[in-house]
Amino acid sequence: MKPAPFDYYAPATISEACQLLSEASGGATVIAGGQTLMPLLNLRMSQPFILVDINNTAEMKGISAVDGGIRIGPATRQYEVLESELLVERLPLLVEAVRHVGHHQTRNRGTVGGSIALGEPAAELPACAVALGATIDIASVRGTRQVPASEFYLGPFMTVLEPDELVTGITFPAWPAGHLPLFSELAQRPGDFALVGVVGALALEAGKISRAGIAWMAMGPTPLKATAAEQLLLGKSLAEIDPQAVAEAAVAETAPFDDKRTSAEYRRTVGARLLARALRELTAQGEAA
Amino acid sequence: MTNMNAPEEKSAGILTGKYIGQRVHRKEDPRLLTGHGQFVDDVSVPGQLHVAFTRSPVARASIVSISSDYAREVPGVHAIYTQQDLADFNVDMISFFLASPDVKTTPLADGRVAYVGEPVVMVIADSRAIAEDAASLVEVEYAEETPLITIDDARHGAPVHPGREDNIAAQMGEEEIDEDLEALLQAAPHLVTHKVVHQRISQSPMETRGVLADPEGPKELTLYITCQSPHMVERWTSLALGKPDMAIRVIAKDVGGGFGLKNHPWKEEVAVILAALKFRRPLKWIEDRYENLIGANQAREQEMTLQVALDNDGKLLASHGDYSCNNGAFPQLSECNIAVHMFVWGAYKMPAYGFLTRGWYTNTVGYAAYRGPWAMESLVRETALDVAARRLGIDPIEIRRKNLVTLSEQPTESCMQIPLEDVTPAECLEKLLGYFDVDAFRREQAEAREQGRYLGLGIAAYIEPTGSAGAIATMTGELAQVRIEPTGKVTATMSTHSQGHGTQTTMAQIFADRLGVSYEDVSVFEGDSSRGGFSPGAAGSRQGVIAGGAAILAADKLAEKVRTLAAHLLQVEAAAIAIDAGQISVAGNPDKSISLGELANIAYGEPDRLPPGMESGLEAQHRYQPPPMTFASAANACVVEVDRDTGFVKIQRWISSEDCGTPLNPAVVEGQVSGGLAQAIGMVLLEEVGFDERGNPTAATYKDYMMPAISDIPTFEFVHANTPSQSVGGMRGVGEGGAIIGAPTLVNAIADALAPFGEVEVNLPLTPAKLLSVMEGRDLTPPKVVAPVAVEPVAPAPVAEPVPAADATPAGPVVIDGDWKMILSTPMGPQEMQGHFETSGDNLSGYLSSPEGQMEFTGSVVNGNNLVFDLKVTKPMKITLKYNLLIDGDKISGKCKMGIFGSAKLTGERL
């Protein structure tokens, strides 16, 4: 053991977990897969007084069809997404996205909720939640609330979660059968967080786009929904899409940053190309079909 | 150099055998692959305590106060030490070459800190966690100063080390370009000036540094330490501690990579060793990854500008190189990398070359070696040749064909007077071109460009001195000790050490073949200083070459004894004896045979049956002293596609054509080359240790320090272009070649792909943003770090003592005669020597003496206070040392011109 000292609890239920978080008055951290937290604890970059381990909390696990969509328990391992026939059929974007989350080894432990709650702006799953219009289910001793993913993120590694609150589920709305996923990410090494990336889904009704959800990774302090681009897509057939115009509209809504790895201008330039490229591929698919 | 030490035997060609040259399974793998390797942290001894360090959060400051009051109260804390507590040991932090450091270097900070992460205080506690709890409660007050971070900062800033004149850690060569050379450069039809900036690299071994120091009473010390040679660590520790009467045993069974970082202990390891001796308990410290990325010494961070003059046909005419290296604050050796210059044109027909090479002190963690420490020579040369080829409109292959020294032109000498007898880069290149269809690629490249896809081909060639021995104290021969046990099994102990090199395997292959036993019956032991004998271990691509030769010679001695004994017992001629698969047989006499086990039983247990005078037992050893250097050569080719939209590089193919002489085990050879190439890919595309303007590391975890992963590495193709070397067995070293030739090969491929857009600045790593910037013609890279802002006035630079000008005439009469203590700043570190001068009128004679011996000179001339004399030396190679010294009272200073090594500074005083 190398971390700073902490008290350890492994509650069996959500209400017990909430009780612990409430009593900790902000001194607790929730651990699920630990793929981000364990290194931070060992390097003492994170030093909570209390560690609430939700791996024994059965209610926090599993992928299930619910009224009007699919609910994923936050303690569900990332690899389970890859093996879920339900998701492969109904939300193929999530399956594609998880392939880019870390590596085999980290996906065996890492959880969906961990990635969602961490709030890394360059991560795949938060962007998917925003693009697909997911709702984050939150509980505390004070009650429960549902927050749209697009309002869940406040900044890098910052969310609306209060210190006593726990993510208890991620609920994705139903998308029409046969909708088209869109995923394009540039990471310096496979499995890394995105240098820049875009995810989305397009639903067609009678050959026209009836529903569009697009969100950026690493193009601002949070995953960003490309609302103007979505508007440009609605009502068009795949053949009518102007990939360049959509991409430019989508980039116009972003606020990328310079960091050690690359510049904001690189992110804007390449982000637009990634989205345009992905849309052209969809268009080609449309023509082939 | 070749006449310095005649090799004991000449190679007979490429060796092959039942095992030698075969891809036998590695003896190390069963234990490593089932989790039974033994690394430092796997070892525990009764009563051990744990260590954690309080490290400096600032890059440059004086320490105002240290308070451990709160830390001491943490339950489980046993002791808290600062440098004051360790000062009695007066440890000498010597270099790999056993030279004392140029700047006072202590295990813990001594009143000042000079880099972020410098260990200041150490805590000894029941567990690592408790030690860290307490370390975080140590309060240190710092008076911060403006740090110098970059080489450019060092050129202009106040000295990092108070009392020094400047930040030059080491310097070789001439500050002014020689007039004749300058004339050649300027008169040439083409002059290419090419600059390479290499980022700082973390050696980043999978097993971080770590030590378990176990003092067994006042006179014995056992160290479990991850290192590149237990023998080297034992020697270093004994000398550094000044404890010749202490029995030191160093054990490192398995090592998770060294790469140059683990040649010998440094600050933290030494602090743990001293603290264990002082506290008289076993102490363990295992570096965590954060500590490794900020506090372990680092490598590269070099800049080099190479001028290359060519004629219209691309023939080389003259060249000049200017090299700088960031040595950090406390380098493991004051590095100015003379090897960069010795080998920059080593295999090319370059008529004239001059250089200046400097290492700079900065407020960053110190320099240590990294696989292929002089790799810059190949990077700057091979990329400059491609720039020249593009400018002259010549094919990059042609420019190499025109200038490389071919085998048929040897023996000859390089422009740095290095004898070349059997280097084969030109032959490696031809073999590569026989395998890879360049014309087909160029057609594919042209077609792709029409579609807006940018493919590139990079070709590079190089030579590298490997298996160096005999010229430097620590670069010795290697020892093999082998015995046939009474059971008939073979046991060997070696001076080698594996960091994954597979020496247990390759040496066993040799013993099995040479002794006529099966590979399974051979066990090789290393990794413990109480076994085998001294060698620097995994350093300088030497083990296959030298230890391989030692294993052959030791085995041959033992086989000879077996034959003599067998002939005696079976009453036949020794020449008729054959040994195979552990069975001794007699040619033409199938009835007479004896197993090796039966023979061994007699050799050990029935001395009466031995021939008169024969020593009982079946044991032999040999320390092999090879030729001073054995050159390895290679040519590589790599094909990339650079994505026009994103600047991402995809490596499509990579072909290595290398001459490693006898490949003891081709799989081990390919593993060595592949690992080196993977490191090169990391250097060119991904890895970078960075600092902000205050000297804070910006890549302190593996999220930011991007190592290449398996997904970033292509499947390498191998074309072995082997020719036997002159060492016994014919091996050549392959430990570092991949890391050296990989970088220019990949850079050249990227530059070739982007040639339609312009030249690519070689400023590593070549990130997607940099490459996209070239293709877009606009800057898409993130803003550079801004110049440091002074938070407090810089400590005034200490006033340097005036250096006597050449024509200065001292006021009083000059007293020359007598003894002088003098220090010469050589590329191997400062060399202390005593000078004795006698004058008779204007005639000067005398001698210089050092631990290496005494060299006399006569017939020189004194001119006032100016002494000019020459000394001829044969080590490390035949050169004439030209001294030009000035005496000012009781001080002496000046220069020594050391042939190809350029000039070195000398300072001293009267004894």
**B474-518 pLDDT, tens per residue?**
999 999 999 999 999 999 999 999 998 999 999 999 999 999 999
Q: How many helices (H) and strands (E) does chain A have?
A: 12, 14
Please give the Cα distance from B655 to B660 (Å, whole number). Answer: 15
Q: How far is B389 from chain A (nearest CA, A)?
A: 31
Which chain A positions have a beta carbon within 8 Å of B704's beta carbon? 260
Interface test with A, best of B689, B767, B771, B775 (most A CBs within 10 A): B767
Mean of per-residue pLDDT scores for chain B? 92
Per residue, the 3-state secondary structure of B849-903, as one string, reads: EECCEEEEEEEEEEECCEEEEEEEECCCCCEEEEEEEEEECCEEEEEEEEHHHCE
Task: State the best of A45, A193, A263 to mutate against chain B, taking most chain B CBs within 10 Å.
Answer: A263
- Which residue among B289, B646, B776 places its CB closest to the CB of A186? B646
The gap from C-alpha A160 to its chain's centroid, in whole angstroms, comes to 15
Reported as a single tens digit per residue, the pLDDT across B869-880 is 888 776 656 677
Q: For residue B192, count other CB atoms closer than 10 A to its CB.
A: 19
What per-residue confidence (pLDDT) applies to B903?
Answer: 73
The yes-or-no verdict on residue A176 having pLDDT over 90 is: yes
User: Could you give the residue ranges of the DSSP H alpha helices within chain A?
Assistant: 14-24, 37-42, 78-82, 85-90, 92-98, 104-109, 112-118, 124-132, 149-152, 227-233, 243-252, 264-288
Q: Are B639 and B441 in contact (CB under 8 A)?
A: yes
Residues found in chain B: 911
pLDDT in tens, B185-220: 999 999 999 999 999 999 999 999 999 999 999 899
Residues of chain A contacting residue B127, judged by C-beta atoms under 8 Å apart: 1
Maximum pairwise Cα distance, chain B: 95
Using the predicted structure, report yes or no on whether residue B60 has a pLDDT greater than 70: yes
Question: B132, A190: Cβ pair inside 8 Å?
Answer: no
Q: How far is B147 from chain A (nearest CA, A)?
A: 21
Band of pLDDT at residue B366, cut at 50, 70 and 90: very high
**Residue keyed to tokens 């601002």:** A220
How far is it, in rounded angstroms, from Cα B272 to Cα B268?
A: 6
Instruction: Give pLDDT, residue B471.
Output: 84
Whether B780 and A265 lie within 8 Å, measured CB to CB: yes
Domains and their CATH numbers in chain A: 7-56 (3.30.43.10), 60-173 (3.30.465.10), 180-288 (3.30.390.50)
Inter-chain contact A269–B772, Cβ cutoff 8 Å?
A: yes
Chain B residues with beta carbon closer than 8 angstroms to that of A258: 782-783
Note the pLDDT tens digit of each residue in B549-562: 999 999 999 999 99
Is the per-residue pLDDT at B829 higher than 70?
no
Q: How confident is the model over A72-127, as pLDDT tens digits?
A: 999 999 999 999 999 999 999 999 999 999 999 999 999 999 999 999 999 999 99
Cα separation, B458 vs B752, in Å, equals: 7
Residues A8 and B764: their CA atoms lie apart, in Å, by: 45
Residue B373 contacts by C-beta under 8 Å, 6 or more apart in sequence? B260, B299, B337, B339
Q: How far is A196 from chain B (nearest CA, A)?
A: 10
Per-residue model confidence (pLDDT) at position B789: 38
* Lowest-confidence pick of B37-46, B410-419, B740-749: B410-419
Cβ of B424: how many Cβ atoms within 10 Å? 30
> Residue B326: in which H helix or E strand, if any?
strand B316-328
Is A277 within 8 Å of B783 when comparing Cβ atoms? Answer: no
In this prediction, residues B290-305 reach a mean pLDDT of 97
> What is the structure's pLDDT at B685?
98
**Complete domains list, chain B, with CATH:** 40-150+203-295 (3.90.1170.50), 371-469+628-776 (3.30.365.10), 478-624 (3.30.365.10), 818-910 (2.40.128.120)
Mutation test of the interface with chain A: which of B51, B77, B649, B772, choosing the one with the most A Cβ atoms within 10 A? Answer: B772
* Residue B747, H or E segment: helix B737-753
Most confidently modeled range among B7-11, B365-369, B823-827: B365-369
* Mean pLDDT value of segment B595-614: 96
**Residue pLDDT, tens place only, B657-712:** 999 999 999 999 999 999 999 999 999 999 999 999 999 999 999 999 999 999 99
pLDDT of residue B839: 86
- DSSP codes joined into one string, B645-658: TT--EEEEEEEEEE
Q: State yes or no: pLDDT of B3 exceeds 70.
A: no
Q: Give the single-character DSSP code of A18.
A: H
Interface of B with A (CB under 8 A): 127-129, 132-133, 136, 288-290, 645-648, 686, 690, 698-699, 701, 703-704, 706, 708-709, 711-712, 767-769, 772, 776, 779-783
pLDDT value of residue B844 = 87
Q: Taking 80 as the threshold, does the pLDDT of residue B294 lie above it?
A: yes
Whether the per-residue pLDDT at B802 is higher than 90: the answer is no
Q: Which residues of B touch A192 (CB under 8 A)?
A: 706
In this predicted model, what pLDDT tens digit does every residue of A8-30 receive, in sequence order?
999 999 999 999 999 999 999 99
Q: For residue B472, what pLDDT is reported? A: 85
Those residues of chain A whose CB sits closer than 8 Å to some CB in chain B are 1-5, 39, 42-44, 186, 188-193, 195, 258-263, 265-266, 269-270, 273-274, 277
pLDDT value at B72 more than 90: yes
Is the pLDDT assigned to residue B799 strictly greater than 80? no
In which band, very low, low, confident or very high, does the pLDDT at B893 lie, cut at 50, 70 and 90?
Answer: confident
Interface touch B709/A191, C-beta < 8 Å: yes
User: Which among A4, A42, A189 is the nearest to B711, CB-wise?
Assistant: A189
pLDDT range class, residue B1, cuts 50, 70, 90? very low
Q: What's the CA gap between A124 and A119, in Å, rounded?
A: 10
- State how far the Cα of B783 lies from the Cα of B786, in Å rounded to an integer: 8
* Rounded Cα distance, A17 and A168, in Å: 10
Residue B540 has pLDDT above 60, yes or no: yes
Measure CB to CB from residue B709 to each of A189, A193, A263 and give the nearest one.
Answer: A189
For residues B832 and B274, the model is more confident at B274
Q: What is the mean pLDDT of residues B349-373?
A: 95
- B790 pLDDT band (50/70/90 cuts)? very low
Residue by residue, DSSP assigns A49-75 as: SEEEEGGG-GGG--EEEETTEEEE-TT
* Cα separations in angstroms, B809 against B457, B806, B817, B866, B886: 61, 9, 18, 9, 10
- Going by C-alpha positions, the residue among B651, B751, B646, B768 that lies closest to residue B706 is B768
Which residue shows structure tokens 């491929």? Answer: B749
CA nearest to B780, candidates A266, A185, A143 = A266
Question: CA dist A230 to A123, A212, A216, B201, Å?
Answer: 21, 5, 12, 44
* The pLDDT of residue B7: 41
8 Å CB contact between A100 and A124: yes
Q: Dig out the tokens for B119 from the structure.
A: 């260990």
* Confidence band, pLDDT 50/70/90 cuts, at residue A286: low
Tell me the chain A residues in contact with residue B290 when contact means C-beta distances shorter than 8 Å. Answer: 43
Q: What's the pLDDT score for residue B875?
A: 63
Residue B227 has pLDDT above 80, yes or no: yes
Confidence band of B13 (pLDDT split at 50, 70, 90): confident
Tens of pLDDT, residues A244-276: 999 999 999 999 999 989 999 999 999 999 999
Interchain CB distance below 8 Å, A188 and B289: no
Q: In what order do the strands lie in the sheet with B112-113?
A: B112-113, B61-67, B139-144
pLDDT in tens, B118-130: 999 999 999 999 9
Q: What CA–CA distances, in Å, run from B911 to A74, B835, B860?
A: 77, 9, 22
| Confidence tier at B860 by pLDDT (50, 70, 90) | confident
**Coil/strand/helix, residue B542:** coil
Residue-level pLDDT at B339:
84
CB B142 within 8 A of CB B121: no
Question: Quick one: pLDDT band at residue B884, thresholds 50, 70, 90?
Answer: confident
Nearest to B290 among A43, A266, A273 (CB): A43
Distance from CA of B911 to the nearest CA of A (A): 53
Q: Are B696 and B116 in contact (CB under 8 A)?
A: yes
Residue percentage of chain B with pLDDT more than 70: 94
Closest CB from B699, B709, B781 relative to A263 = B781
Predicted confidence (pLDDT) per residue in A195-220, tens digit: 999 999 999 999 999 999 999 999 99
Tell me the sheet residues that pair with A167: A138
Length of chain A as a residue count = 289
Rounded Cα distance between B617 and B603, Å, is 5
Banded model confidence at residue B55, pLDDT cuts 50, 70, 90: very high
Alpha carbon of B523 to those of A229, B502, B544: distances in Å? 68, 13, 17
- Give the span between the Cα atoms of B625 and B546, in whole angstroms: 7
Burial class (CB in 10 A: 0-12, 13-18, 19+), B12: exposed
pLDDT in the model for residue A288: 63
What pLDDT does B862 receive?
84
ipTM of model = 0.95
